């Protein structure tokens, strides 16, 4: 087991190297607009998982996944060369569903705001069903029932 800080630094470095490789050296036409979002590495530094997103349709996502899988060897050798670790971690590419979930949450929040605005608009023109002040108040000549208590004492 290694220090967690060292593992995090290595994961960050792997993320930078993979992003550079995808931008400059991997020339696969199937590779779409890919963004590397995160990299996680195991505690023994043997396996690294690279999370990515693809801007585009489901077909472009599948094509990009196939392109990443075929370029895995070149990327891994470059990671080993640039990091200088004794054992180059194996790379696994996984599609990151976080942006899709965030987009769905944004849509839900927008719909909730629209419903809140509609309720607020209806509340502005609403009036009370009964009196404006529903609490009982003593009448003008009433002393609160104190006279009735004197008789009982």
Q: Please write the tens of the pLDDT for every residue from 100-151.
A: 788 888 899 999 999 999 999 988 888 777 777 778 777 776 555 555 555 5
In this structure, what token pair is assigned to residue 40? 């996680």
* Residue 23 backbone phi and psi in degrees, to 5: -80, -40
Q: How many CA atoms lie within 13 A of 131 on its CB side?
A: 5
Share of the chain above pLDDT 90, in %: 38
Q: What is each CA distance from 13 to 24, 40, 64, 86, 99, in whole angstroms?
A: 16, 11, 22, 15, 22
pTM exceeds 0.75, yes or no: no
> Per-residue confidence at 51, pLDDT binned at 50, 70, 90?
very high
Third-level CATH fold of 4-101 = GMP Synthetase; Chain A, domain 3 (3.30.300)
- How far apart, in whole angstroms, are the C-alpha atoms of residue 149 and residue 153? 7
- How far apart, in whole angstroms, are the C-alpha atoms of residue 2 and residue 42? 10
Count of all residues that appear for the chain in the document: 153
The chain-wide mean pLDDT, for the chain, equals 84
């Amino acid at each position: 087991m290694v220090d967690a800080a060292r593992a995090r630094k290595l994961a960050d470095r792997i993320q930078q190297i993979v992003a550079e490789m995808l931008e400059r050296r991997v020339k696969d036409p199937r590779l779409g607009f890919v963004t590397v979002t995160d990299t996680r590495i195991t505690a023994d530094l043997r396996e690294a998982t690279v999370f990515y997103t693809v801007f585009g349709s489901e077909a472009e996502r599948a094509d990009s996944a196939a392109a990443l899988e075929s370029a895995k060897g070149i990327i891994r050798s470059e990671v080993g060369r640039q990091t200088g670790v004794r054992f180059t971690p194996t790379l696994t590419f996984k599609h990151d569903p976080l942006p899709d979930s965030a987009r769905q949450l944004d849509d839900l929040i927008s719909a909730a705001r629209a419903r809140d605005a509609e309720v607020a608009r209806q509340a502005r023109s609403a009036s009370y069903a009964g009196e404006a002040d529903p609490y009982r108040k003593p009448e003008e000549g009433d002393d609160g029932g104190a006279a009735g208590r004197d008789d009982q004492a």
